[in-house]
């Protein structure tokens, strides 16, 4: 890639999954709409995009996901009702949700895998770099993981994916990267060059314990890789398999990002996110802390 890297304006949020890890809560509502404290999961992810300078969000939905579109739509009746009761701050809060960025929606008609969900967004993304954020992973904090990846893309012109260390026994839950230092003399030891990736390997076969977190910054060339990717693990078109091709053909970085992620699509991960984000809450965080102390568990 000889051209100057373009500004990253777009993000794809795959949200077509069935949420089977969270049944029965997700039987009739999208897992992306499960609230952590006072916001649905997908709003945390949208706010991470906004804080990372992205202004165009493409959400890949499926059947039964209408609540997501409604959440980011305007709600004149609700706003009017809140104003008439003098609850102007709440009315503004509701109004602002739909005006953070431009939203577009497209549908994944069949559950053919994460790679396929990203490919469905090809026409809406066009020929420019874009971020991918998985909706069940939330990474709160002052320095968004996506922004860290944007900075790498904009300085190197190459794709980058966020990784973090996981216990070796858990490699079978994640995409795992095989890496080498990007530049041994570089001060930024968090930046690694990807040699290969493997989706959900057994611990004995895992090339490292660095797991793909669910934040990706990809050049448009990845669509060509996705089109050539055959069904892999679980019979699905895996994003990880397309990234193997991208790493070989164009180069790809792994970034051991600064921050802490919660897998809120998992019941225990969701509880941890709720407790830790609840503790940070300005309105009742201190009272909640007292309550947890009293429990003496
Ligand atoms: C997906 C990806 C995997 C990644 C994980 C992060 O798996 O396929 O590579 O490590 O998200 O949460 P899923 O959790 O959707 O099975």
Query: Residue 93 has what pLDDT?
Result: 82
For residue range 245-297, what is the model confidence (pLDDT) as tens digits? 999 999 999 999 999 999 998 899 999 999 999 999 999 999 999 999 999 77
- Is the pLDDT at 2 greater than 60? The verdict is no
pLDDT over 70 percentage in the chain? 97
pLDDT confidence of 3, banded at 50, 70, 90?
Answer: low
For residue range 270-280, what is the model confidence (pLDDT) as tens digits? 999 999 999 99
32 Cβ inside 6 Å of ligand 1: no
Lowest-confidence segment of 14-23, 78-87, 105-114, 179-188 by average pLDDT: 179-188
* 199 CA from centroid of ligand 1 (Å): 8
CA of 175, closest atom in ligand 1 = 9
Mean pLDDT of 17-46: 92
pTM of the model: 0.94
For residue range 125-174, what is the model confidence (pLDDT) as tens digits? 999 999 999 988 999 988 999 999 999 999 999 999 999 999 999 999 99
Structure tokens at 51: 């804080």
CA of 213, closest atom in ligand 1 = 6
Query: Residue 41 has what pLDDT?
Result: 95
Exposure string (b/e) for 131-156, b if CB count within 10 Å is 16 or more? bbbbbbbbbbeeebbbbbbbbbbbee
- Contact indicator for 180, 195 with CB cutoff of 8 Å: yes
Q: Which residues contact 196 (CB under 8 A, 6 or more apart)?
A: 177, 178, 207, 244, 247
CA of 211, closest atom in ligand 1 = 10
242 Cβ inside 6 Å of ligand 1: no
- Looking at per-residue pLDDT, the higher value among 2 and 100 belongs to 100
211 Cβ inside 6 Å of ligand 1: yes
Q: Which domains does the chain have, with CATH numbers?
A: 10-281 (3.90.550.10)
For residue range 232-242, what is the model confidence (pLDDT) as tens digits? 999 999 999 99
User: Nearest C-alpha to atom 13 of ligand 1 is from which residue?
Assistant: 174
160 Cβ inside 6 Å of ligand 1: no
Query: Residue 18 has what pLDDT?
Result: 82
Q: What is the mean pLDDT of the chain?
A: 92
Could you give the CA distance from residue 16 to residue 26 in angstroms, rounded to a whole number? 12
Query: Residue 82 has what pLDDT?
Result: 86
223 Cβ inside 6 Å of ligand 1: no
Query: Residue 296 has what pLDDT?
Result: 77
- Is the pLDDT at 185 greater than 80? The verdict is no
114 Cβ inside 6 Å of ligand 1: yes
User: Nearest C-alpha to atom 9 of ligand 1 is from which residue?
Assistant: 175
* 289 CA from centroid of ligand 1 (Å): 32
Q: Which residues contact 201 (CB under 8 A, 6 or more apart)?
A: 171, 172, 176, 207
């Amino acid at each position: 890639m000889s051209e100057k890297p373009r500004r990253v304006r777009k993000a794809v949020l795959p949200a077509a999954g069935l949420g089977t890890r969270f049944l029965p809560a997700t039987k009739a509502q999208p897992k992306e709409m499960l609230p952590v404290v006072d916001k649905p999961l997908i709003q945390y992810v949208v706010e991470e995009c906004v804080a990372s300078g992205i202004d165009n969000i493409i959400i890949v939905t499926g059947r039964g996901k209408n609540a997501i579109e409604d959440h980011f739509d305007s709600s004149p009746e609700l706003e009017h009702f809140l104003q008439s009761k003098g609850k102007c701050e709440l009315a503004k809060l509701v109004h602002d949700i739909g005006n953070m960025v431009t939203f577009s929606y497209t549908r994944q008609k069949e559950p053919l895998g994460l790679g396929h969900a990203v490919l469905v967004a090809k026409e809406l993304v066009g020929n420019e770099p874009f971020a991918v954020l998985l909706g069940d992973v939330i990474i709160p904090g002052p320095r968004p993981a996506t922004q860290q990846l944007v900075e790498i893309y904009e300085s190197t012109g190459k794709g980058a994916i966020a990784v973090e260390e996981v216990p070796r026994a858990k490699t079978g839950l994640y995409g795992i990267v095989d890496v080498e230092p990007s530049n041994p003399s570089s001060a930024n030891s968090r930046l690694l060059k990807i040699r290969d990736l493997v989706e959900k390997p057994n611990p004995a076969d895992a090339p490292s314990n660095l797991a793909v977190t669910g934040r990706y910054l990809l050049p448009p060339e990845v669509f060509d890789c996705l089109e050539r990717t055959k069904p892999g693990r679980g019979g699905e078109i895996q994003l990880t398999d397309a990234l193997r091709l991208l790493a070989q053909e164009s180069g790809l970085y792994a970034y051991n990002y600064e921050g802490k992620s919660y897998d809120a699509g998992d019941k225990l991960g969701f509880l941890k996110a709720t407790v830790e984000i609840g503790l940070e809450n300005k309105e009742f965080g201190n009272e909640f802390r007292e309550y947890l102390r009293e429990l003496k568990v």
